[in-house]
Chain A
């Protein structure tokens, strides 16, 4: 008899609310997994670009000579040719911006440090292209890392809310 009375006094059933919370948690989790998939793809692409870039650099050094293409030949007045603006407060990372003159001080193209207009083998130019591609991908990877962190936090919160809503029907029954 008490159970019937208990049943008849309830105005909203807890299951639909719990189901709604679970649905939201599922959506957040799926969104986080999607961003994780994008992150893994971007990471593999940037790793492949860097790997190939270092290999092309090894080919260029074998071709032109290990003294000509070495860290010691880098310009003492080098400036960054590409920059990324990071806003810590807002938690955002901007796109890669490249200097109009190619950076690198007065020399323009950094390839000129390693043999000028004629002494650079094609493999070195290819390595430069791959490192430039890798830089763009790494900036995108940094942005994805931020998005992934937000998605993970949102998914954890939604799961916690769903778990909390799962305990309330038991408490009310008692």
Chain B
């Protein structure tokens, strides 16, 4: 029955996002980009892509920071077009996607204030998709209670603060714990919401979000090695969903080094093939297509899941998947630009091609 009524609310937007998907950079275009010798050559090649209009007014020579900013502007413009033309229930789904960016902006403002950055500079650095009205007031808060009671209680993230209220001071360690706790609550809430939307959105988004939870679990584990974070605190930051919940998470919580992480992942069929040949201790080196890092494998798996979402129709997952593929495309373009500007042409092949 979903197929009959889907196009009434979301048919136009699905058509638009599939058009956006067709504008993604293809493998032959990536090859042309990797053969550029200078940033100006790269800009010339990007002129035929969706980013051309956003780069044409930038003065030469263009820096990688400017490239990131303009590419993000292109992504934001396209997503905001979808939001402006969305009605319920699709608008709520698109709002859910923006909550992740809101969390990043909240943490950026708090961290910047803690390190005595200017408020206006910090607001300029926030992601445009994660802006909300009371954001400037975040800079005056000094404890979590104050943060919640003065600012967050009226924001879409209010419900996610429930698990953070035990933290008192906003220092570096607590801020990171707050970030990961907020994102954990957001991911669980988004997952529950998608399951409530019914098929096929539930299955498409469910698979993508479970993978996202697993990736966060592994990243939290790896990033916490050598830090003050206790193993109990590490467990509390793991999302309560995903293929690794609860058994693998229990074992990862006790891991002390990368070799143990690899040994645990090898016991799960979904991740065993991802671990084969991975270099645990360094990013890709050599000719750029040699030993990949675990992160590269995660990027590749994420791209595959998001591409598969377009194989079905009449679900909301295409909007989420397009956004993630677009973000991966920006990472690829900026990576190629960094390799060109740093004269590291042997590493330029370490991007994750999409189509």
Give the interface of A toward B (CB within 8 A). 51, 54-56, 58-59, 62-63, 65-68, 70-77, 105, 107, 112-113, 115-123
B172 close to A70 (CB less than 8 A): no
A117 and B116 contact, Cβ closer than 8 Å, known pairs A55-B344, A55-B347, A67-B125: no
Chain B residues, CB < 8 A from A77:
115-116
- Which secondary structure characterizes the binding site on chain A? helix
Chain B residues, CB < 8 A from A119:
176, 179, 223
Chain B residues, CB < 8 A from A118:
173, 176-177, 179-180, 220, 223-224, 227, 229, 237
Residues 325 to 355 of chain B near chain A (Cβ within 8 Å) = 331, 334-335, 338-339, 342, 344, 347
Number of A-B contacts (CB under 8 A): 92
Within 8 Å of chain A (Cβ to Cβ): is B289? no
Contacting residue for B111 out of A55, A66, A73, A121, CB 8 A: A73
In Å, the complex CA distance between A105 and B115 comes to: 9
Considering the complex, give the chain B residue whose CB is closest to the CB of A104: B115
Considering the complex, give the chain B residue whose CB is closest to the CB of A118: B176
Q: A55-B347, A58-B335 are in contact. List 6 more A-B contacts (CB 8 A).
A: A70-B65, A76-B117, A112-B172, A118-B177, A119-B176, A122-B223
Interface centre among B115, B173, B227, B342 (most CB of A within 10 A): B115
Chain B: interface size category: 35 or more
Chain A residues, CB < 8 A from B86:
none
Within 8 Å of chain A (Cβ to Cβ): is B133? no
Top 8 A-B pairs, shortest CB-CB distance: A116-B176, A76-B116, A75-B115, A58-B338, A116-B172, A118-B176, A112-B172, A117-B227
A70 and B125 contact, Cβ closer than 8 Å, known pairs A51-B342, A117-B176, A118-B229: yes
Considering the complex, give the chain B residue whose CB is closest to the CB of A121: B223
- Which secondary structure characterizes the binding site on chain B? helix
Chain A residues, CB < 8 A from B228:
117
Chain B residues, CB < 8 A from A121:
223
0/1 interface trace, chain B 207-236, chain A, CB 8 Å (1 if under): 000000000000010111001110000000
In Å, the complex CA distance between A12 and B93 comes to: 103
Chain A residues, CB < 8 A from B347:
55
0/1 interface trace, chain B 155-173, chain A, CB 8 Å (1 if under): 0000000000000000011
A66 close to B334 (CB less than 8 A): yes
A115 close to B115 (CB less than 8 A): no
Give the interface of B toward A (CB within 8 A). 65, 68, 104, 108, 111-112, 115-118, 121-122, 125-127, 172-173, 175-177, 179-180, 220, 222-224, 227-229, 237, 283, 295, 331, 334-335, 338-339, 342, 344, 347
Chain A residues, CB < 8 A from B104:
65, 67-68
Chain B residues, CB < 8 A from A51:
342, 344
Considering the complex, give the chain B residue whose CB is closest to the CB of A78: B115
Chain A residues, CB < 8 A from B224:
117-118
Considering the complex, give the chain B residue whose CB is closest to the CB of A60: B283
In Å, the complex CA distance between A55 and B346 comes to: 12
Chain B residues, CB < 8 A from A59:
283
Considering the complex, give the chain B residue whose CB is closest to the CB of A108: B172
Chain B residues, CB < 8 A from A66:
65, 68, 334
Considering the complex, give the chain A residue whose CB is closest to the CB of B338: A58
Chain A residues, CB < 8 A from B339:
58
A67 close to B108 (CB less than 8 A): yes
In Å, the complex CA distance between A67 and B69 comes to: 9
Considering the complex, give the chain A residue whose CB is closest to the CB of B67: A66
Contacting residue for A58 out of B111, B116, B295, B342, CB 8 A: B342
Considering the complex, give the chain A residue whose CB is closest to the CB of B125: A72
Chain A residues, CB < 8 A from B229:
117-118
In Å, the complex CA distance between A65 and B127 comes to: 11
Considering the complex, give the chain B residue whose CB is closest to the CB of A112: B172
In Å, the complex CA distance between A32 and B108 comes to: 53
B172 close to A117 (CB less than 8 A): yes
B223 close to A76 (CB less than 8 A): no
Chain A residues, CB < 8 A from B68:
66
| Closest chain B CB from A111 CB (angstroms) | 9
A75 close to B227 (CB less than 8 A): no
Considering the complex, give the chain A residue whose CB is closest to the CB of B124: A72
